[in-house]
Amino acid sequence: MGRRPGSRVTIRAIADEAGVSVATVSRVINGRDAVAPATQEMVRQAERRLGGVAVPGTPEAAVLPVFVSCPYKLTDYFGTIVTSVIETLGLHGRQAVVQAGGSAPGSRSSLLELPRRPGFAGAVLVLPPSPTEDLRTLHAQHYPLVVIDPRAELPEDVASVSAAHAAGARRLTGHLTGLGHRRIGFLGGPGDWLASNNRLVGYASALAEIGVLPDHELIRNVTEPTADEGSRAALSLLAHPQPPTAIVAFNDKTAAGTLRAARSLGLRVPEDLSVTGFDDSELSDSVTPTLTTARQPLEEMGRMAVSLLMRLVAGHAVDTLHVELATPLVVRESTGPVPHPA
């Protein structure tokens, strides 16, 4: 049975019929922003084909804000990501409602309540500590969400954006093997973090390329990726009877801690010990010596997450749900040739 002339149709139905986004249909109907005449005509033709009228002011036409959760202090790393998310949402005409640090939802109940909280188009979750099952539950309820830098392996149909952790660690370790190093220590992050495990894979892969098996006695993990934790872990590595000639640290902070540990033992960097970080944060260029590191594209991670979310909110199919962004090598002063025995 055909639709009665003048009856209401949803803006989403018109968007699907015209092959444009819900936001575009909303702009045409409300006449708020400039839309190309050809696109306007596509929308009006779709409206006529469906035989109904989309009414401005309906919930579909509303441009709702996006919930942004980051359960960590907005320091250099997380602050850069969240700022990028907020700025990119602004380019899409969206506001962000940010909860960070202790105020961000970390408990199971608060995360699962998101679909019942009115007034949000969807959510961007930065390194959420919640169980993977909770994210799967949210997705099953058709709640639009994107995870930035997931802590654990995600289901294939949950959208995420992260850095290419394995490739970055492989590149760093390969840089060290190219300098002649063979006894290379690995200072990983928390053992249950996906980033730490992926970087360990990259480290092992680079060693395998030159026929070296990873020595488990040269691998340590920190409970928190801080300079103090990095210093303690590095001292443990360097206390080995055959200490490493180079250390691949989890991030720039743990690398800075490794530099501190080396100084306390009278070791020169890079003459006696080479050290690499990860992130290319401001710290990497301010310590002495400056750090060789892998650059995490933090701002682009935020931009890409918003792009994915806007497509999900508009009801568009998203073929690539798990996006990894390149982590290029940045060579500075903290790495050098393997030291020759006296």
Could you give the residue range(s) of every CATH 3.40.50.2300 domain in the chain? 66-163+298-325, 165-296
| 195/29: higher pLDDT | 195
- Strands 322-325 vs 274-276: parallel, antiparallel or unpaired: unpaired
- pLDDT at residue number 11: 64
Which of 12, 11, 3, 15 minimizes the C-alpha distance to 51? 3
The superfamily CATH assigns to domain 66-163+298-325 is Response regulator (3.40.50.2300)
Which band of pLDDT confidence, cut at 50, 70 and 90, is reported for residue 2? very low
165-296: in CATH 3.40.50.2300: yes
- Convert 174-210 to b/e letters by CB count within 10 Å (16 or more is b): bbbbeeebeebbbbbbbeebbbbbbbbebbbbbbeee
**pLDDT, averaged across the chain:** 86
Q: What's the sign of the alpha-carbon dihedral 130, 163, 300, 142?
A: negative
- Contact status, residue 143 vs residue 296, Cβ threshold 8 Å: no
Q: Report the distance separating Cα 218 and Cα 104, nearest Å.
A: 36
Q: How confident is the model over 112-131, as pLDDT tens digits?
A: 788 877 788 999 999 888 77
Q: Largest Cα–Cα distance of the chain, in whole Å?
A: 92
Angle subtended at Cα 277 by Cα 149 and Cα 171, rounded to the nearest 5 degrees = 80
Q: Which residues contact 6 (CB under 8 A, 6 or more apart)?
A: 52, 53
Packing angle, helices 298-313 and 76-91, rounded to 10: 40
Tens-place pLDDT, residues 149-203: 999 898 888 899 999 999 999 999 999 999 999 999 999 999 999 999 999 999 9
The whole-number average pLDDT for the span 321-330 is 95
When pLDDT is averaged across residues 61-67 and rounded to a whole number, the result is 76
Q: CATH 1.10.260.40: which residues of the chain? A: 7-61
> For residue 4, what pLDDT band results from cuts at 50, 70 and 90?
very low
| pLDDT at residue number 33 | 58
Average pLDDT over residues 40-46: 81
pTM of the full structure: 0.78
Instruction: Give 102's pLDDT tier (boundaries 50, 70, 90).
Output: low
Instruction: Dump pLDDT digits (tens) for 128-153.
Output: 887 788 888 887 888 899 999 999 89
- For the domain with range 7-61, which CATH number is right: 1.10.260.40, 3.30.70.260, 1.50.10.100, 3.30.70.980? 1.10.260.40
Q: Cα(first)–Cα(last) distance of the chain, in Å?
A: 91
- The reported pLDDT for the residue numbered 340 is 78
3-state SS class at 286:
coil
Q: Give the C-alpha separation, 197 to 190, whole Å.
A: 9
Is the peptide bond preceding residue 214 cis, with omega within 30 degrees of 0? Answer: no
